[in-house]
């Protein structure tokens, strides 16, 4: 009887320790990460913090944001050129239409992002903001219109939209 009680007590102790460990790890995972001053108004503060990580000033935060958006735009171009042709179950004409739409949208996005970067270096925030606000959603719209649920492309297009949101938030942050 005594060993049975001892085993139950040991099990309860182990269970209690496991619960405390889980709760401790959970609270560590949800602990507040300091938000960069350039991300205070951003709706995606964790992503914003990663993008502007270590920025010493607003200008540097903008350079990092614009560069991140440009990289994502190039990734979309790469995915639409190399992977989209492999999708089955869609008419070839529709596939070509989506490819062309995504390519044109991302060509325009890269061009606008380059212009935004030029405006930033010329200290012209109005032109920079105008170029950033030219959010190119044509690719995402084409995927939705044709009902494409191709994860790699949908994922990278979704990331592009989030990164553009970050860039716009940082751009509107007081300097």
What local confidence, expressed as pLDDT, does residue 47 receive? 95
Which range marks the domain in which residue 108 is found? 43-170
Q: Has residue 10 got a pLDDT over 60? A: no
For CA atoms 6, 9, 15, 18, the dihedral sign is negative
When divided into structural domains, the chain yields a total of 1
Residue 47 lies in a domain: yes
Residue 49 lies in a domain: yes
Whether the full predicted model's pTM is greater than 0.85, yes or no, is no
Q: Has residue 50 got a pLDDT over 50? A: yes
Residue 146 lies in a domain: yes
Q: Has residue 24 got a pLDDT over 60? A: no
Residue 72 lies in a domain: yes
Residue 116 lies in a domain: yes
pLDDT digits (tens, 9 = 90+) for 118-153: 999 999 999 999 999 887 888 888 888 888 777 677
Cα 144–Cα 146–Cα 149 angle in degrees, nearest 5: 65
Between 14 and 156, the higher pLDDT residue: 156
Q: Average pLDDT over the chain, rounded to whole?
A: 80
CATH number of the domain residue 141 falls in: 1.20.140.40
């Amino acid at each position: 009887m005594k060993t049975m009680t001892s085993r139950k007590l040991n099990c309860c102790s182990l269970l209690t320790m496991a619960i405390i460990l889980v709760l401790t790890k959970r609270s560590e995972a949800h602990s507040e990460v300091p938000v960069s001053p350039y991300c205070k108004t951003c709706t995606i503060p964790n992503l914003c913090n990663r993008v502007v990580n270590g920025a010493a000033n607003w200008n540097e935060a903008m350079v990092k944001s614009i560069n991140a958006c440009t990289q994502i735009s190039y990734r979309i171009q790469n995915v639409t050129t190399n992977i989209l042709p492999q999708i089955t179950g869609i008419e070839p004409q529709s596939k070509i239409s989506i490819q062309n739409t995504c390519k044109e949208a991302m060509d325009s996005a890269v061009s606008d992002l380059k212009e935004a970067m030029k405006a930033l270096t010329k200290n012209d925030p109005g032109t920079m903001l105008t170029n950033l606000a030219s959010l190119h959603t044509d690719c995402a719209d084409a995927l939705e219109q044709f009902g494409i649920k191709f994860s790699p492309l949908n994922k990278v297009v979704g990331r592009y939209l989030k990164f553009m949101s970050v860039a716009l938030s940082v751009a509107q942050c007081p300097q």
